[in-house]
Structure formats: structure tokens, C-alpha cells
Amino acid sequence: MPRYALLIEYDGGPFQGWQRQAAGQASVQGAVEEALGRLEPGPHTIAAAGRTDAGVHATGQVATVDLSRDWDPFRLGEALNWHLKPQPVGILSVRRVAEDFHARFSAVERRYLFRMVARRAPVTHDRGLVWQVLNPPDVDAMREGAAHLVGHHDFTTFRSSICQAASPVKSLDSIEISEHSYPGGVEVRFRLRARSFLHNQVRSIVGTLERVGAGAWAPGRVAEALAARDRAACGPVCPPQGLYLTGVGYPVDPFAESR
């Protein structure tokens, strides 16, 4: 059966996460599989590079699916986008891939962005797309705190109690924190890169760093929290609406223009 890779963008607000849910609960996976079912008799099961939680967005999610028909990739993407309307899900690109390519297991890197906006007035146009705080954080202090987390560590402190990963030990390749002008305030963007992440790891890290930026934590307390290997030592977990899966890395990019 031909295998296809889908590059997917979505607003996670209306969904209970990526993963298919019980009847009556909307999911991104369910929406795409339903659209596939209108093109070919189902059921269809698609595999994603990352199972984003309820309210989390994506600009670069990748999924793979096997279909019985030999589709032209462009026409498949166009047809899926038609049947996904009016849901906030877009198929950005479709590529035919080898049978051994798997969106999750072939991935060597995941990239996430978290958007925090600091301003007094309520957010309007970005409502549901950012985490709003009232006061501008100390970005330099957050960078100092974040430096303690980069590298190969036991991230038990920053792992959800319901995380199903076999081990809390992960390598966090980078955390980049940048500051940008925003109408009436400032936007702080956190970009995290790793081969894989634990459940709620990014939101736990950003929530902890916000405490540093607010002056409630000294930067060195982040290192103490990491060393504690205790969920109780973590700062508050930030809300999901500022989080985006922005990209997935593979040994060979299936969506490269040269393909």
C-alpha cells in the first residue's frame, strides 16, 4: 500500500488533543481520519510525530498514513483540505514516502515554540494562541535559569505524573528565549529542541521559567528543582494555548523541495 507523509497545521483550541477520543469528543487525528474516509473506504489510522495535548497547536505536525489508492500527493492534499472544512486543520504538504518511513519512529528531532505575551490590556486577536501575563519578565534571568536544563538529565521534576515514557532521562538540545515588541506590551518566545519530550515537559519548563522571570525564583533554583527529581519541586505548569509543535526533523526531510 502506498504510504504518504502529511505536514499538518492546526489550531488546537477546539480539540481534546491530537489523539483520537471517545465518541463525541473532537480530536485532530479523528478529523483527519474522517476526511480520509471520505476519499477511501475506512477505517483509517494515521500515526503522528507527537501527540499534542488539548489546546496545543501545531504549525509543523507530521503524520503518516497508508492508502490503497496511488494518489497524486498534491491532489490528495487538496482533497483532504476540502473535506476538513470548516475545522481549523490544514494539510500544508503531502509526500509519497518509503514503506519504512514512520512519522514518529523515524523522527530524530522535535521543535516546540511557546508564546508568552506580557501586557495589561486583554489579548484580543491572539486570544487562545498565547499565554498572557501582566508584567514584562526578566528575560536574562530566565535565560540563566534555562541554561541549567540544557543537556542530558533526569527530567522527573518536569514530567507529568501520568507520563507513559519508559524513562525520565532525556537530552534537551537547546532552549532559546527571545523578546519581541507586541502591541501594548512584549512577547517572549521560548524555542525548545530535542529528540523527544516527556508529557508536559515543555509546559512545566516554561511555567517554571516564568517564576524566574517574575522574580519569584532565583535562576539557580531551576537547577535545584532539576536535581530534586521530584514533581513537587516544579513550578506551575503553564496553560496549553501558547504551545506550538513547529517542526519534526528526519534524517532525510520528506517535504524538502528537491524531492
- The set of catalytic residues is 53
Residues 237 and 211 sit within 8 Å (Cβ to Cβ): no
Instruction: Judge contact between 47 and 63, C-beta under 8 A.
Output: yes
Q: What are phi and psi of 94, to 5 degrees?
A: -130, 135
For residue 217, which amino acid is it?
A: W
Contact 245, 61 (CB under 8 A): yes
Strand 109-119 to 131-133 pairing: parallel
Cα dist. 23→18, 20, 26, 53, 173 in Å? 14, 9, 8, 17, 38
* Residue pair 210/217 in contact by the 8 Å Cβ criterion: no
